[in-house]
Amino acid sequence: MTHSEFAEYLQVQRSAIDRALERSLRVYHGQTLTVFKAMRYGLFPGGKRIRPTLTLAAGEMFGGKQKDLLPFACAVEMIHAYSIIHDDLPAMDDDDLRRGQPTAHKVFGEGMALLAGDGLLTEAFHLISGPQVLRKLPAELVLQLIHELSHAAGIAGLVGGQAVDLEAENQDVDVATVEYIHVRKTGALILAAIRIGAQVAGAKPGDLRRISKFGEYLGLAFQIADDILDALGVTVTGERAESDHNELKKATYPSVVGIVQATERLQELSRQCDRELAPYGNMAERLQAIAEHVVARAIRQREAQ
Amino acid sequence: MTHSEFAEYLQVQRSAIDRALERSLRVYHGQTLTVFKAMRYGLFPGGKRIRPTLTLAAGEMFGGKQKDLLPFACAVEMIHAYSIIHDDLPAMDDDDLRRGQPTAHKVFGEGMALLAGDGLLTEAFHLISGPQVLRKLPAELVLQLIHELSHAAGIAGLVGGQAVDLEAENQDVDVATVEYIHVRKTGALILAAIRIGAQVAGAKPGDLRRISKFGEYLGLAFQIADDILDALGVTVTGERAESDHNELKKATYPSVVGIVQATERLQELSRQCDRELAPYGNMAERLQAIAEHVVARAIRQREAQ
């Protein structure tokens, strides 16, 4: 896949995901509550939609249909959007800007932003437990996917990672703690996004194991790349561009092992990602391109400085 | 049911619910994260466990087994506990005390309390999508119940009610707005607790409609009783005893229509509750006793003053 083919691919997926997000909120058509506006503000325009794109790519790789995958892709993105709104709150990272725009609590107030996050998290589970999903997939599978997604989002995953990250602020931490945080705070939802896509598509156990390995490596790579770009003053996804949370000392890979070792670790993870996908050849082209995209910008930026 | 029989009934249910909550968290045995401690702090010792008791009572009335009902009762209580933690935060009601104890953010800090609430909300869905539940009930039914619970907890229910309540602070509101808030903020989860119990037990459509009517009346009665006791300086459930949120002007029934009319409305709702349960005779004894308990304390307190 050339660079421009990949850019177009991302754009097409993003449009499909945005349309599906709009459809999933159509049930609230005419809803005039401020909290609904705040939820929409957290969801749109969004970033590059990498997580839901991973759900689609992993699912399509195993023969899944986009229309079956989209509700789960949307639920993953809603959980990501909720986590960003809560993470930006003054009680957490206290960010005024996100992707160059005022954060939700700056626009709607802290209480409303808190509730908008709660609303998005709840809506994720409401969406994938609904009749539209049940018409397409066996109920047992849908339950299993809800169980996995809530595991990834809960204290064994995202919430747990955020909590340890919060406690690590302004503390001296070691590499193990940084990896612990990264694997949960960022990795768990990326892994779930990929595994859910594969399972919707009916991936066999051996394939699911392999793709899960890929997901684990990618999740960690994603956060290390973000850390490196942050340390260099740019970001991999644009998601934290112009954030002002740098007053806090956060637990990051480069801050603990230095930027040289962090870059080496990222390259190692990139090779591990490739190795897991190798057996699938062209079938894995999209997942491979996403992984390359995540890693390459950090490496290029590093080399340019 | 005599007063002492009812007190014993509540105590027995409470013990069963507390044991089930402990069992449901056993999967996190050995978890030393602060956020997990904060989640436990929000769950234990808890209040009277009225909502999960309603799930059990509604389910048992239609022949449901306690062991099938308990996971759902626990999920309802987790959502209640999360909503309390978030509601007490400075960005919301800013309460320092809850049931005579320091609120979660006073003990663990705001960020950790925020995450503990997120964790409890997520855990509710994790619990009822798990294999223990699936072994007992058809997957289609479990999905339907997750859909209902997330509806009640989301912007069409609890989150929506909280949001309008937040906007109504220090505003002049009418009765319709107060009822709108009450029906969502308090009523939706009470209604869901009851409906979920009935559906786990396999209640027939006609019975489900009738018990839903009862749930709607009870949910509104619950909040009006709470408002009346609040206005008189005591609380129906002890849940908001010694809260210090009275600096804010909140949208309550007595503040809008006066305590006399609020009490009349409560008595009317009490009669409507009784009327829906009447066809079930002794089978509805427990639900009836809970409804009476909710209403009677407010009425007694009103008459005593």
- Read off the pLDDT of residues A31-52 as tens digits, 9 standing for 90 and up: 899 999 999 999 999 999 999 9
pLDDT given for residue A245 in this prediction: 47
pLDDT given for residue A29 in this prediction: 87
Q: What number is the average pLDDT over the span B140-149?
A: 98
From A286's Cα to the closest Cα of chain B, the distance in A is 31
Residues contacting A39, CB < 8 A, separation 6+: A116, A119, A120, A123, B155
Other C-beta atoms lying within 10 Å of the C-beta of residue A242: 13
pLDDT tens per residue across span B12-26: 999 999 999 999 999
Which of the residues A27, A83, A115 would you substitute to probe the B interface, choosing the one with the greatest number of B C-beta atoms within 10 Å?
Answer: A115
Residues contacting B112, CB < 8 A, separation 6+: A163, A166, B34, B35, B38, B104, B105
**Of residues B42 and A245, which shows the higher confidence score?**
B42
Other C-beta atoms lying within 10 Å of the C-beta of residue A212: 18
> How far apart are the C-alpha atoms of A117 and A149, rounded to whole Å?
16
Q: What number is the average pLDDT over the span A54-64?
A: 98
**Closest CA in chain A for residue B127:** A147
Confidence of residue B235 (pLDDT cuts 50, 70, 90): low
- Put simply, the answer to whether A151 touches B126 (Cβ < 8 Å) is yes
Closest CB to B147 among A39, A92, A129: A129
Number of H helices, E strands in chain B: 14, 2
Nearest C-alpha neighbor of B62 from the set B193, B190, B218, B199: B199
Tell me: pLDDT of B269 over 90: yes
- Chain mean pLDDT for chain A: 93
Confidence of residue B108 (pLDDT cuts 50, 70, 90): very high
Tell me: pLDDT of B298 over 70: yes
Other C-beta atoms lying within 10 Å of the C-beta of residue B275: 13
Chain A positions in Cβ-Cβ contact with residue B151 (cut-off 8 Å): 126
Cα–Cα separations (whole angstroms), residue A253 to A10, A229, A265, B99, B156: 27, 11, 9, 43, 41
pLDDT given for residue B1 in this prediction: 86
pLDDT tens per residue across span A210-263: 999 999 999 999 999 999 998 988 654 544 444 444 456 788 999 999 999 999
Surface-to-core class of residue B113, CB atoms within 10 Å of its CB (0-12 exposed, 13-18 middle, 19+ buried): buried
Asked if B112 is an interface residue toward chain A (Cβ–Cβ < 8 A), one would say yes
| Complex ipTM value | 0.95
- Which CATH number characterizes residue A201's domain? 1.10.600.10
From A259's Cα to the closest Cα of chain B, the distance in A is 29
Q: Give the lowest-confidence range in A46-60, B149-163, B236-250.
A: B236-250
Tell me: pLDDT of B140 over 60: yes
Are B287 and B61 in contact, with CB atoms under 8 Å apart? yes
Confidence of residue B146 (pLDDT cuts 50, 70, 90): very high
Q: What number is the average pLDDT over the span A166-171?
A: 90
Q: Give the lowest-confidence range in A242-251, B4-13, B104-113, B118-127.
A: A242-251
Residues contacting B132, CB < 8 A, separation 6+: B71
Are β-strands A97-98 and B97-98 bridged in parallel, bridged antiparallel, or unpaired? unpaired
pLDDT tens per residue across span B208-222: 999 999 999 999 999
Tell me: pLDDT of B240 over 90: no
Angle, to 10 degrees, between the axis of helix A139-153 and the axis of helix A188-200? 170
Tell me: pLDDT of B90 over 70: yes
> How far apart are the C-alpha atoms of A192 and A187, rounded to whole Å?
8
Tell me: pLDDT of B237 over 60: no
pLDDT given for residue A304 in this prediction: 81
- Put simply, the answer to whether B35 touches A159 (Cβ < 8 Å) is yes
pLDDT tens per residue across span B184-198: 999 999 999 999 999
Chain B positions in Cβ-Cβ contact with residue A39 (cut-off 8 Å): 155
Q: What number is the average pLDDT over the span A127-142?
A: 94
Closest CB to A143 among B91, B143, B153: B143
Helix, coil or strand: residue B130: coil
> How far apart are the C-alpha atoms of B24 and B133, rounded to whole Å?
11
Asked if A137 is an interface residue toward chain B (Cβ–Cβ < 8 A), one would say no
- Put simply, the answer to whether B150 touches A31 (Cβ < 8 Å) is no
> How far apart are the C-alpha atoms of A182 and A162, rounded to whole Å?
9
Per the structure, the count of domains in chain B is 1
- Put simply, the answer to whether B115 touches A39 (Cβ < 8 Å) is no
pLDDT given for residue B246 in this prediction: 47
**Of residues A175 and B237, which shows the higher confidence score?**
A175
Instruction: Provide the CA A116 distance to its chain's centre, in angstroms.
Output: 18
Helix, coil or strand: residue B102: strand
Give the domain extent around B48: 3-304
**Of residues B205 and A245, which shows the higher confidence score?**
B205
Confidence of residue A1 (pLDDT cuts 50, 70, 90): confident
- Put simply, the answer to whether A163 touches B129 (Cβ < 8 Å) is no
pLDDT given for residue B241 in this prediction: 46
Asked if B160 is an interface residue toward chain A (Cβ–Cβ < 8 A), one would say yes
C-beta pairs of A143-148 under 8 Å, 24+ apart in sequence: A143/B129, A143/B134, A143/B139, A143/B142, A143/B143, A143/B146, A144/A199, A144/B129, A145/A72, A145/A196, A145/A199, A145/A200, A146/B125, A146/B129, A146/B146, A147/B126, A147/B129, A147/B130, A147/B131, A148/A192, A148/A195, A148/A196, A148/A199
Confidence of residue B247 (pLDDT cuts 50, 70, 90): low
